[in-house]
A and B are shown apart, each in its own frame.
Chain A
Amino acid sequence: SAVISQKPSRDICQRGTSLTIQCQVDSQVTMMFWYRQQPGQSLTLIATANQGSEATYESGFVIDKFPISRPNLTFSTLTVSNMSPEDSSIYLCSAPGGGAGTDTQYFGPGTRLTVL
């Protein structure tokens, strides 16, 4: 299993500003993932953070809005840029539990973002 920490745990931000969320895993993992849960919605995958290459974004998410860094095998950051109230969500990072196929995801505790 992996233990994942995130910071900040919550933040309240002004429209137009940016916030960088950090995710730390206690072991080396090949892939890390960033999810968002908007109010009343399901967890949605934003992107896969690959070490040594650019992140892979899901449909509807773009690098300019959600730049991701992955400097090593235990750490990643997600930036929410030029925020608007629609970005108010819980943002989670995760890593697969090992093995292939039916991987369980291990999640961080999430960052609760409110944009005013």
Chain B
Amino acid sequence: ILNVEQSPQSLHVQEGDSTNFTCSFPSSNFYALHWYRWETAKSPEALFVMTLNGDEKKKGRISATLNTKEGYSYLYIKGSQPEDSATYLCAFGRSQKVTFGTGTKLQVIP
């Protein structure tokens, strides 16, 4: 059983603040690390898939980094907006054989 942990479990930030959260995963037999955003009553939406140590991906105000040697990935949100409120999931593995973390629930307060 793979252990994929996300922290914090939840956080509240003020609109305009920047924030980040962590996904920790096993550092051996790395294949890929995925980030998803899951808004209430909507489908989880893929943000990034990262495969190489040192990868950095960016999509608008959201970016992610990857360290496969130490087994962690950070997701950063710059200048948080209320529409960023969602649960952010990371998933470790390949194809459908991925192990999901429990998610970080972000609430951006206007």
Measuring CB to CB, which residues of chain A are less than 8 angstroms from any residue of chain B?
A: 4, 9, 31, 33, 40-45, 48, 92, 94, 96-97, 100-110
> Using Cβ atoms and an 8 Å threshold, which residues of chain B touch A96?
95-96
Interface presence of B26 (CB below 8 A): no
Given known A-B contacts A40-B102, A42-B4, A42-B102, A105 and B46 have beta carbons under 8 A apart? yes
> Using Cβ atoms and an 8 Å threshold, which residues of chain B touch A103?
94-96
Residues 36-51 of B at the A interface (beta carbon under 8 Å): 36, 41-44, 46, 49, 51
Q: Which residue of B4, B42, B94 contacts A101 across the interface (Cβ within 8 Å)?
A: B94
Q: Is B32's CB under 8 angstroms from A106's CB?
A: no
Q: Is B32's CB under 8 angstroms from A42's CB?
A: no
CB distance from B2 to the nearest CB of A (A): 11
> Using Cβ atoms and an 8 Å threshold, which residues of chain A touch B32?
101-102
Interface presence of B88 (CB below 8 A): no
Closest to A31 in B: B96
> Using Cβ atoms and an 8 Å threshold, which residues of chain A touch B101?
42
CB distance from B60 to the nearest CB of A (A): 18
Q: Is B49's CB under 8 angstroms from A102's CB?
A: yes
A-B contact pairs, 17 of them (CB 8 A): A40-B102, A42-B89, A43-B89, A44-B100, A92-B43, A96-B95, A97-B46, A101-B32, A102-B95, A103-B94, A105-B44, A105-B96, A106-B43, A107-B43, A107-B44, A109-B41, A109-B43
Dominant SS at the B interface?
loop
Interface core residue of B41, B42, B95 (most chain A CB under 10 Å): B95
Q: Is B46's CB under 8 angstroms from A43's CB?
A: no
CB distance from A46 to the nearest CB of B (A): 11
Closest to A112 in B: B41
Closest to A109 in B: B43
Q: Is A101's CB under 8 angstroms from B31's CB?
A: yes
Going nearest first, the 6 A-B pairs with the smallest beta carbon separation are A43-B100, A102-B32, A104-B46, A42-B100, A107-B43, A107-B44
> Using Cβ atoms and an 8 Å threshold, which residues of chain A touch B97?
45
Q: Is A92's CB under 8 angstroms from B96's CB?
A: no
Q: Which residue of B42, B49, B95 contacts A100 across the interface (Cβ within 8 Å)?
A: B95
Q: Mark B63-106, 1 if CB is under 8 A from A, else 0.
A: 00000000000000000000000000101001111111111000
